[in-house]
Structure 1
Amino acid sequence: MEIFDIAILGGGMLGSAIGWGCASRGAHVAVLDGGDVALRAARGNFGLIWSQSKGDGAPSYAGWTRDALAAWPALAETLSGFAGRDIGYRAQGGLVFCLGEEELEARRAFVNRMHNQGASDLRLLSRAALLDLMPSCKLGPDVLGASFQPQDGHINPLMVLRGFHAGLAAAGAAHLPGADVVQIERDAHFKIHRADGTAVQATKLVVAAGLGTQRLATMIGLDVPVRPVRGQNIVTERLPPMLPLPASALRQTIDGTVQIGITNEDDGDPEPRTRVMNLSTMAARAVRILPSLAQAHSLRSWGALRPMTPDKLPAYAQSDTHPGAFVAVCHSAVTLAAQHAGPLAEGILAGRLPDAVAAFHPRRFHV
């Protein structure tokens, strides 16, 4: 039986980034994937490359995110080449709009708090400053200001995933979709048994299976609590340019469509369903920001599930009981993709995770 250097359990955004990062450095990689039936968080990702709302009270997360943003330009160029088209990476800054005085004051307090934690580039813009920044943007009267982070941006997450998958193929990785993992054995190598009766052997393995992470992590001696948090999205028809910068829950893509989102429904429901009440609330807020959207046609709406840890931060670890077995899970796999394909993959190849992720060990959930 063929023995791979590394088996990645999960072919979504996180697993594909780690797998490509390892394969592009010469490792013989197998990606075990659920295929098209998998509940991919990438399908519901809003597409932001985002730092301004992350890291409050968690400096390690803030630093990990900032480093990811710094590495994204080079990664975007590489992935566009693999995908065969522009993956939509734009990083001219990002906004969080404030509707009314209460939201403005809450955002002001947040910006001040983040300044005290080292986020010196994040700033609060008045309505007048917003109009100076985007003179062609017709904002609604309820928009009183916004926070602005000049390093933030956005991307097409499905094209990112396509780029990683094409990069895996170019690096000679094996993509093995369509069957769940049912057992992991450890002898001279890891032997990964699948529901279709096949097995894969590898010297190392990485559990990066999103909502399936908790079940698989127990097979390598790790307890990593993960729950589903639903997000819903709306996308409109193609429209004339109206929003030059992406915002939290509102962005215009390079194709001209406007994407509206995204909910955080932490209700324990394991289905990626949509709900009219939530969609209408999202749409109403978007129209308050950009009144011209009231005339736009909605083309489709959808829901997806994010894998969320109890404190909403990533979790990375190597197993003490199964050396050479690693776990990785996060809800921000697009923003952090450059880190997962870079230093995290390098650490897995070396057999030691980077010091930058030491704070994200899942043992913190059991103290």
Structure 2
Amino acid sequence: MSTKTSDITVIGGGVVGLSVAIGLLRAGNRVTVLDGADGDPRASQGNFGLVWLQGKGASYAPYAHLTSEAVSGWPEFASLIEDLSGVNLSLDQSGGYEFFTEEAEFRDFAADLKQQQQFLGNHFSFETIQGDDLRRSHPQIGAGVVGATFSALDGHVNPLRLLKALKQAVAALGGEIVNDAHVTDVSGGSSGFDFSLRSGAHHGADRVVLAAGLGAATLAERLGFQTRVRPQRGELLITEKLSERLPFLSSTIRQTDEGGLQIGGTKADAGYDDSETLDVMAGLAQHAVTVLPTLHDLRVVRAWGALRVMSPDGHPVYARSSTLPGAYLVTCHSGVTLAPFHGGALAQWIDDTTDAPNLGAFDEDRFTLSPAA
């Protein structure tokens, strides 16, 4: 076994892994982050940057409460990360829309939000706005929009700047990030864990948090976890910069602080194929123009596909290994939204303190009877 270089090793250097590392460092642990290769699937480099509550946990109360607490914690978390890194995250939580062009989809989503409100009570509010009423306040919205929902709690950050800031925050707190450290094998026991890297090097730690997203499958099995994540492809369009600010933020159209637009919101089961597809790109462009016809002549400058990390039921997983004490699994597809929780109270659960949150609803034992797990 190699010499131990940290109390806890976090496998995965994306938004989730880095946020977890920050929480553990703030709790007084020595932490090393093993980050994979640039060619590995990386949700953190292709996400939309949303800090979003609408619809999250509408069918699962624990997820609704977790998301609500994380969204509320974003101002304090952003201030912490900006102070540690010197990077402006451009957090904006002035509210967000969900636009609909189909009546049935509009009604169904509004019903979901009513259920979410029942779960959250005074911690969540939203408006349901018919298309004509929407156009009275925003005349530029297209006639093809039948309605929208709005929540004043939703917002966004600059996602690539967030990733940079989290890395710098880990370093500022005394953590170590090992780049191009693709873990090929892991073994563990009462004396700790040993990680074999593709380079031939070894790394040791007393405990391990597996937060490698889609790269966690093989290692999860070896650490005694049963959860099997799957990829879900989302595609994005990036436009030229606009001289004026958009009058709204939505889950499918957002303007970055630099001025360009991100247009997205697609979901596809395409395995590990993260390439963009022409028909989907055309559909994204059509959606954007339907919502805001003035975008018709805007030029697209980039397009890409990225892979989300999905658990069998789409909700986060926080699990302790039943066979290797000291091993933890952390996986979710809302890494940006949940970052304040991962960088805060989750460390208490990992350290098993008296004030640790109860995360039983997110344990992987909920998949025991499901063949999808």
Alignment TM class, shorter chain as reference: over 0.9
- Say yes or no: does 1:220 pair with 2:226: no
Which one of the candidate residues 151, 155, 159 is aligned to 2:157? 155
Which one of the candidate residues 93, 108, 128 is aligned to 1:124? 128
Residue by residue over 1:80-135, the C-alpha shift from the partner in whole angstroms, topping out at 9 and shown as x without a partner, is 33443321210011110122433333333333333343455022123354346x54
**Distance in 1 separating the partners of 2:364 and 2:119:** 24
The match for 1:299 is: 301
Do the aligned partners of residues 3 and 101 (structure 1) sit closer, same or farther apart at CA in structure 2, a change above 3 Å counting?
Answer: closer
Matches within 5 A, 1:1-367: 1-118=3-120, 120-131=124-135, 135=138, 138-187=140-189, 188-267=191-270, 269-350=271-352, 354-367=356-369
Gaps of at least 5 residues in structure 1 are none
**Distance in 2 separating the partners of 1:347 and 1:113:** 28
Q: Is the 8 A contact 2:59 2:112 kept in 1?
A: no
Q: Which range moved further: 111-120 or 30-39? A: 111-120
Q: Is the 8 A contact 2:58 2:113 kept in 1?
A: no
Do the aligned partners of residues 337 and 311 (structure 1) sit closer, same or farther apart at CA in structure 2, a change above 3 Å counting?
Answer: same
TM-score normalised by the chain length of structure 1: 0.94
Amino acid at match of 1:11: G
Amino acid at match of 2:300: S
**Secondary structure of the structure 2 residue equivalent to 1:166:** helix
**Secondary structure of the structure 2 residue equivalent to 1:312:** coil
**Distance in 1 separating the partners of 2:146 and 2:43:** 33
Deviation of the 1:322 alpha carbon: 0.9
Gaps of at least 5 residues in structure 2 are none
**Secondary structure of the structure 2 residue equivalent to 1:71:** helix
Residue by residue over 1:294-327, the C-alpha shift from the partner in whole angstroms, topping out at 9 and shown as x without a partner, is 1101010011111111110111111121111101
Do the aligned partners of residues 298 and 89 (structure 1) sit closer, same or farther apart at CA in structure 2, a change above 3 Å counting?
Answer: same
Deviation of the 1:63 alpha carbon: 0.2
**Secondary structure of the structure 2 residue equivalent to 1:295:** coil
Deviation of the 1:353 alpha carbon: 9.8
Amino acid at match of 2:61: P
Deviation of the 1:161 alpha carbon: 1.0
Q: Is the 8 A contact 1:3 1:203 kept in 2?
A: no
**Number of aligned residues:** 364
**Secondary structure of the structure 2 residue equivalent to 1:142:** coil
Residue by residue over 1:127-173, the C-alpha shift from the partner in whole angstroms, topping out at 9 and shown as x without a partner, is 354346x54x6111112321111111111111111111001111111
Q: Is the 8 A contact 1:98 1:107 kept in 2?
A: no
Amino acid at match of 1:127: G
**Distance in 1 separating the partners of 2:353 and 2:224:** 17
RMSD: 1.9
Q: Is the 8 A contact 1:83 1:159 kept in 2?
A: no
Amino acid at match of 1:229: Q
**Distance in 2 separating the partners of 1:347 and 1:178:** 29
Q: Which range moved further: 176-185 or 281-290? A: 176-185
Amino acid at match of 2:256: T
Q: Is the 8 A contact 2:5 2:204 kept in 1?
A: yes
Do the aligned partners of residues 39 and 168 (structure 1) sit closer, same or farther apart at CA in structure 2, a change above 3 Å counting?
Answer: same
